[in-house]
Amino acid sequence: MAFWISGFFFPQAFFTAALQNFARKHIIAIDELQFDFKIIDEYTLAEITEKPDDGVYTHGLFMEGARWNSTTHILDDSQPKQLYTEMPLIWFVPKRNRVAPTSGIYNCPIYKVLSRSGTLSTTGHSTNYCLMIELPSNKAHDDWVRAGVALFLALRY
Query: With left for phi above 0 and alpha for psi between -120 and 50, is residue 6 left, alpha or beta?
Result: alpha
Pairing of strands 150-152, 105-111: parallel
Q: Are 45 and 89 a contacting pair, CB within 8 Å? A: yes
Q: Looking at the predicted structure, is the pLDDT value of residue 22 above 90? A: yes
What CATH class is the domain 2-152? Answer: alpha beta
pLDDT value at position 146? 94
Tell if the pTM clears 0.95, that is, is over it. no
Q: Looking at the predicted structure, is the pLDDT value of residue 125 above 70? A: no
pLDDT value at position 145? 93
Question: How many helices (DSSP H) and strands (DSSP E) are in the chain?
Answer: 2, 11
Q: Where are the domains of the chain?
A: 2-152
Residue 101: what residue type?
Answer: P
